Amino acid sequence: MSRQSNRTTDSKKMNAELFTLTYGALVTQLCKDYENDEEVNKQLDKMGYNIGVRLIEDFLARSSVGRCQDFRETADVIAKVAFKMYLGITPSVTNWSPAGDEFSLILESNPLVDFVELPDNHSSLVYSNLLCGVLRGALEMVQMAVDVKFAQDTLRGDNITEIRMKFIKRIEENLPAGDE
């Protein structure tokens, strides 16, 4: 059993460049496979979603984070614990909407784009759109429906990279049908 417990306690360090380059190869291939950028964005989001629904279990097993009481706590956990654990960065949380149901993650550096320069003919490609899918999928598994999108991206000439998160609703848990 000792081998297994080691596996979860020390997070395995991986060369970030390998990850970045693999992601780059994935996006490149998708751009070849699909004619338009919108479709590539959609595929990236979908892949991210599928990663997110599994990643959340790994995250919960590794960190001792319990259920969040409100969206602010969720924002903190995402920025300070999750991003740190998986990407080695700590985005800042800003631009809260007055209702407290929307916020922005500002990424000073985005490890996915370390070696990227977007060619002019891909102006509507959201290069790191996988992250949106991951966030959406992971939060859905903890009963939060959330809308995630890139509001600004340094790759497309903005000064900062900003991911906008909007809380839609709590997903209620139901007793399975035919089980009264």
Partner 1 sequence: MTVHNLYIFDRNGSCLHYGEWNRKKQAGISKEEEFKLMYGMLFSIRSFCSKMSPLDMKDGFLTFQTSKYKLHYYETPTGIKIIMNTDLGVPNAKDILHQIYSTLYVEYIVKNPLCVLGEQLTSDLFTTRLDLYIRALPFFSPRAA
14 near partner 1 (CB under 8 A): no
The site string for partner 1 over 18-57 (x = CB under 8 A, - otherwise) reads -----------------------------------xx-xx
- For partner 1, the binding residues in 155-174 under the rule CB under 8 A are 173
Q: Are 126 and 116 in contact (CB under 8 A)?
A: no
DSSP 8-state symbol, 94: E
Comparing CB distances to partner 1, the nearer of 36 and 143 is 143
Q: Which segment (60-68, 90-98, 107-115, 151-159) binds partner 1 by CB under 8 A? A: 60-68
Q: Does 107 bind partner 1 (CB under 8 A)?
A: no
Q: How far apart, in whole angstroms, are the C-alpha atoms of residue 67 and residue 73? A: 9
Which one, of 104, 95, 90, lies nearest residue 153 by Cα? 104
* Alpha carbons 19 and 160: distance in angstroms, whole number: 22
Residue closer to partner 1 by CB (options 7, 72) is 7
d(CA 162, CA 80): 16
Q: Distance between CA 134 and CA 95 in Å, rounded? A: 21
Please tell me whether residue 72 binds partner 1 under the rule CB under 8 A.
no
Interface with partner 1 by CB under 8 A: which residues? 1, 4-5, 7-8, 53-54, 56-58, 60-62, 65-68, 141-143, 173, 175-176, 179
